[in-house]
């Protein structure tokens, strides 16, 4: 039976665990997560994938390896962009220009909301439990994005850590993931 902890407790534990990783460990584990993704999913030309751009100072997963792979496979690549209190997805290309937003996140300069059906949304998180409940930084951007009318076929979390504890205070508006990829394995919810 898993231990059940609050979001606040889990946020503190997993921020600390992630910040304890060296840059070499982040890159090594990111590559293992990428390899698990490639083994799990058959990505084909013209599919549409949204992938987050990491906040490097928080030791987030290096997703550039995913983006390079998608471009090589001729997959359409989208990244999140914060606009006020909501998040949109913007299509990017090899020559797209970026800037750093107020949260310290790299975003495309373009403000054109793609508003397309997405085959995959690769989702950042601090933690995910065995039921697919995702724990982020607490701003609710992804929960709002997932609850819009936009069709998303696969909401996949990427995390360095396996789901060892349950989230005790899941809210009604929290949207669960469809899967989680860690360096060790893929979890299907």
User: DSSP letter at 160?
Assistant: S
CA distance 28 to 121: 22
pLDDT score of 147? 86
CA distance 41 to 101: 31
CA distance 180 to 78: 19
pLDDT score of 78? 97
143-181 pLDDT, tens digit each: 889 988 789 999 999 999 999 999 999 988 889 999 999
pTM for this predicted structure: 0.93
Mean predicted confidence (pLDDT) in 96-123: 92
What angle separates helix 64-72 from helix 23-40, to the nearest 10 degrees? 40
Is residue 1 predicted with pLDDT exceeding 80?
A: no
Of the candidates 44, 48, 64, the residue with the CA atom closest to the CA atom of residue 56: 64
């Amino acid at each position: 039976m898993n231990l059940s902890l609050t979001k606040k407790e889990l946020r503190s534990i997993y921020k600390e665990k992630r910040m304890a990783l060296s840059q070499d460990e982040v890159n090594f584990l990111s590559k293992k997560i990428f390899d698990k993704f490639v083994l799990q999913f058959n990505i084909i030309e013209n599919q549409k994938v949204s992938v987050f751009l990491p906040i490097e100072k928080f030791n987030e997963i290096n997703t550039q390896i995913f983006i390079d792979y998608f471009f090589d496979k001729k997959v359409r690549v989208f990244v999140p962009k914060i606009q006020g209190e909501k998040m949109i997805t913007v299509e990017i290309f090899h020559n797209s220009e970026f800037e750093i937003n107020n949260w310290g996140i790299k975003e495309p300069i373009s403000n054109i909301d793609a508003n397309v059906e997405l085959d995959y949304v690769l989702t950042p998180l601090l933690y995910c439990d065995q039921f697919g409940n995702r724990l982020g930084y607490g701003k609710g951007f992804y929960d709002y994005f997932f609850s819009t009318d936009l069709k998303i076929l696969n909401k996949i979390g990427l995390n360095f850590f396996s789901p060892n504890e349950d989230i005790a205070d899941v809210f009604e508006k929290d949207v669960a993931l469809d899967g989680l990829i860690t360096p060790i394995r893929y979890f299907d919810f």
